[in-house]
């Protein structure tokens, strides 16, 4: 019964995010924000349904391993949550046109690689010694939220680059009038990265600590560990250059996009390479 409710809740959340994505996109194209509350209500209900799906599935399976497709579901959940937090604090509701479709896309991909349709994968019967620790759960949770914040910042940085270039053209697109001012977009991606980077670093610390505790040989030469370190360096350099070196903002925004590429590459590798200490590569 619980697994069926989890499945229904999952697909209800997915359908709701698709509907909200269409409304947000229509709002930007038509430059009419009157439908915005409706889109936000649908998005909120979808997030509640997704939360219910995650909870019901975890209860049914007596725990859910945060790897493979499940990590993508959690990332989608985190993206929508961050969207609501930022929308409430910074009044940037129209970023739903980017973040809500991203959440729907992650849920779709999760089902492609999941062993069962419309629900989270069950906790495996055999768990390696490295994974059998609450520390790993917190590690994945922090890394997921860190990734979500940095991806949100990357989307805003990409929008900043595009809008800056479009405004300098002779005939800028009419829909740019629906976008926030450049200064607000810059404030968004800088603040989001300033929040996401410490969260990501904390997740890394937990992962490294667990690797040392279980004495996993050669854990530091895993390509996924190396890319994770590169991500930390890139975004740390981004914030240093922005706050201290007063470097050109466009160049810094491009560095943010490069960091986003590294995050996506790492997410793919973490689910495609099943060997090594970083066992999140296994497809559930």
Please give the pLDDT value at position 210.
77
How far out from the chain centre does Cα 258 lie? 16
pLDDT digits (tens, 9 = 90+) for 106-163: 888 887 776 554 444 444 444 455 555 667 778 878 888 898 889 888 988 988 888 8
pLDDT digits (tens, 9 = 90+) for 43-97: 889 889 988 888 887 777 666 655 567 778 888 888 888 887 776 665 565 666 6
3-state secondary structure of 191: helix
DSSP string, 120-165: PPPPPSS--TTT-SHHHHHHHHHHHHHHHHHHHHHHHHHHHHHHHH
Please give the pLDDT value at position 167.
77
| Global confidence as pTM | 0.72
Annotated domain spans of the chain: 1-124, 126-284
Q: How far apart are CA 99 and CA 180, in angstroms?
A: 16
pLDDT digits (tens, 9 = 90+) for 262-271: 988 887 777 6
Q: Which fold, 1-124?
A: 1.20.120
Average pLDDT over residues 200-222: 77
């Amino acid at each position: 019964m619980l697994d069926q409710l989890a499945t229904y809740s999952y697909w209800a959340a997915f359908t709701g995010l698709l509907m909200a994505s269409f409304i947000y996109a229509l709002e930007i194209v038509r430059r009419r924000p009157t439908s915005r509350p409706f889109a936000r209500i649908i998005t909120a209900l979808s997030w509640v349904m997704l939360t219910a799906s995650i909870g019901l599935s975890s209860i049914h399976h007596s725990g859910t391993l945060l790897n493979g497709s499940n990590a993508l579901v959690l990332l989608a959940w985190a993206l929508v949550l961050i969207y609501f937090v930022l929308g409430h604090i910074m009044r940037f509701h129209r970023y739903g046109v980017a973040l809500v479709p991203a959440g729907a896309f992650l849920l779709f991909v999760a089902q492609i690689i999941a062993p069962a349709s419309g629900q989270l994968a069950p906790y495996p019967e055999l768990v390696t010694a490295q994974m059998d620790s609450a520390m790993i759960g917190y590690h994945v949770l922090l890394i997921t939220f860190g990734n979500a914040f940095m991806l949100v910042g990357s989307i805003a940085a990409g929008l900043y680059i595009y809008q800056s270039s479009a405004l300098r053209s002779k005939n800028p697109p009419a829909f740019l009038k629906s976008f926030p001012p450049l200064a607000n977009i810059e404030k968004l991606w800088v603040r989001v990265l300033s929040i996401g980077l410490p969260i990501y670093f904390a997740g890394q610390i937990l992962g490294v600590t667990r690797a040392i505790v279980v004495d996993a040989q050669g854990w530091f030469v895993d390509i996924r560990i190396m890319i994770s370190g590169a991500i930390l360096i890139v975004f740390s350099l981004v914030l240093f250059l922005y706050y201290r070196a007063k470097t050109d903002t466009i160049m810094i925004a491009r560095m943010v996009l490069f960091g986003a590429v590294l995050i996506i590459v790492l997410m793919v590798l973490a689910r495609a390479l099943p060997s090594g200490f970083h066992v999140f590569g296994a497809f559930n």
